[in-house]
Amino acid sequence: MPIEAYSGGVCSVSSPIVEIEMQAVGGIMSIVLLIGMVGIINNIILSALERKSEIGMMKALGMREWEIVFVFMVEATGIGIFGGLAGCLLGFIGVSWLVNNGLNFTAIYGDWLDWAEYGVPLLDTIYGVWNYPTFSYVFFLGIFVAIVSSIIPAYWAAHKDPVESIYRR
């Protein structure tokens, strides 16, 4: 199992554990995105149900279905922007703490856990590294996920019959 340690400001580790870790992070991110999509879909459906008579009135006044879909997608974009900014702010705080203080595994686990036994070259403290492109990627990914997850509920709301939408509250 080849392991390369921290050297010259760059830490490069080449081991199967790193590959498994990257797959685990990808799986966790997929679950987080799925939960976010379900939350946004729920929000858009509830918004459509609450504004059922307004949607019926818009259709009765001649608004086309794609315009109603656009209204809901703009709302979802706002949710995505707000969520992306909140996530980036929390990520900024977390990475700032890791860059300045680090995460001391010896203080957390003590000496009873030998990391080298598991193929992880960990001696004392892990420090964070700033990765600004990731912040912008996550921000735009949040907006994209919000827009994509709002398409089906928006079409569902736009296809309602205007007479029944106005009549039944």
Taking the C-alpha atoms of residue 18 and residue 64, their distance in angstroms, rounded to an integer, is 52
Taking the C-alpha atoms of residue 34 and residue 48, their distance in angstroms, rounded to an integer, is 21
* 8-12, 81-85, 88-92, 151-155: range with lowest mean pLDDT: 8-12
Mean pLDDT over each residue of the chain, to the nearest integer: 80
Taking the model in full, what pTM does it have? 0.69
Maximum Cα interatomic distance, the chain, rounded to a whole number of Å: 72
Return the percent helix, strand and coil in the chain, to nearest 5: 70, 5, 25
> For position 110, what pLDDT does the model report?
64
Cβ-Cβ contacts under 8 Å for 143 (sequence gap 6 or more): 77, 80, 81, 84
pLDDT in tens, 45-102: 888 888 888 888 888 888 899 999 999 889 889 988 998 899 899 999 999 998 898 8
Q: Which residue in 41, 14, 76 sits closest to 153, CA to CA? A: 41
The 10 Å CB-count burial string (b at 16+, else e) for 105-116 is beeeeeeeeeee
Confidence band, pLDDT 50/70/90 cuts, at residue 121: low
Tell me the domain boundaries of the chain.
Answer: 6-167
